[in-house]
């Protein structure tokens, strides 16, 4: 953001090389917290800032935002963040948003590129913050691991891990599709494909994964969104797919049904 201002003012920038097109608007949403003078809570402040962003978002705008939805509960914050990314993408706005809500990667299908700042965890040296920008979303769960290097209390860390496992629906027994109340809804990509249960782990599905991505389908939506190219998955498995921890090559047809 600072470099853009310096460059557009005709001044030197902090870079070996720098290319840009001039922007009409540079909008930042960095600081977070209550506005005591106006009597506004953190979330109200965030939404007022977001309202300004949405009004000014266009091809000539640059948006820089840090945790724009951290003042409310997770599901609403995640939904608002996904809607924001979709709107900014549709408006062809240049934007950089940081977030801890990694599930957003599995909710939207857009040309947005995801990166993370790498961190190394070692037994002998603890946590090393490399601060290197690397492709793809980073680990979706890491808070307790970081906390364990700051708060030297093994019992407290063990208790926190126990509750995280409960939140993640982890149990000694493997999950099955019949162990959840499943809601069937058709996919927006193909009405014959239903988002019911994750085909990998059996948890409630939250997204549709394209086995063959858009760039390999020759620009034809028919090939991209045909039934054989779509897989219902949960957000956790979807992240693992994009982190190359899970590979899906296609469906295998059996006498009874596809697998």
Q: What is the pLDDT of residues 163-188, one digit of tens each?
A: 888 777 644 334 443 333 344 577 88
CA 145, 142, 95, 13 dihedral sign is positive
DSSP string, 49-77: HHHHHHHH-STTEEEEEESTT-SS-HHHH
Q: Flag the least confident range among 22-26, 67-71, 193-197, 226-230.
A: 193-197
Residue 218 clears pLDDT 60, i.e. is over it: yes
Position 181 scores a pLDDT of 39
For the chain, list the strands marked E by DSSP. Answer: 25-29, 61-66, 94-98, 115-122, 126-135, 207-210, 230-233
> Using an 8 Å Cβ cutoff, are 127 and 119 in contact?
yes
Of residues 225, 228, 209, the one with CA closest to residue 217? 225
Q: What is the pLDDT of residues 96-132, one digit of tens each?
A: 999 888 888 877 777 888 888 888 877 677 788 888 8
Of residues 78, 79, 66, the one with CA closest to residue 32? 66
Q: Identify the residue with better confidence: 70 or 13.
A: 13
Three-state DSSP class for residue 166: helix
Give the C-alpha separation, 30 to 41, whole Å: 16
Architecture of domain 1-112: 3-Layer(aba) Sandwich (3.40)
> Using an 8 Å Cβ cutoff, are 136 and 123 in contact?
no
Position 180 scores a pLDDT of 36
Position 169 scores a pLDDT of 60
- Domain extents for the chain? 1-112, 118-132+141-170, 185-243
């Amino acid at each position: 953001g600072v470099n853009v201002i310096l460059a557009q003012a005709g001044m030197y920038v902090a870079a070996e090389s720098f290319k840009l097109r001039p922007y009409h608007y540079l909008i930042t949403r960095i600081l977070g917290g209550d506005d005591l003078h106006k009597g506004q809570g953190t979330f109200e402040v965030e939404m007022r800032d977001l309202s300004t962003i949405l009004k000014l978002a266009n091809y000539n705008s640059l948006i820089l935002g840090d945790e724009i939805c951290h003042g409310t509960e997770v599901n609403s914050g995640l939904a608002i963040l996904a809607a924001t990314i979709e709107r900014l993408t549709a408006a062809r706005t240049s934007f950089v948003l940081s977030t801890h809500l990694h599930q957003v990667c599995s909710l939207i299908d857009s040309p947005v590129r995801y990166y993370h700042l790498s961190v190394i965890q070692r037994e002998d040296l603890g946590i090393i913050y490399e601060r290197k920008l690397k492709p793809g979303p980073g680990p979706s769960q890491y808070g307790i691991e970081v906390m364990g290097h700051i708060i030297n209390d093994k019992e407290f860390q063990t208790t926190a891990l126990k509750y995280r496992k409960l939140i993640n629906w982890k149990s000694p027994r493997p999950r099955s599709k019949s162990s959840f109340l499943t809601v069937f809804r058709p996919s927006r990509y193909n009405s014959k494909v239903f988002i019911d249960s994750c085909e990998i782990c059996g948890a409630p599905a939250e997204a549709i994964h394209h086995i063959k991505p858009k760039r390999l389908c020759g620009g034809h939506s028919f090939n991209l969104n045909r039934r054989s190219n779509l897989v219902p998955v949960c957000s956790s498995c979807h992240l693992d797919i994009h982190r190359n921890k899970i590979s899906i090559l296609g469906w295998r047809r059996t006498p009874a049904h596809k697998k």
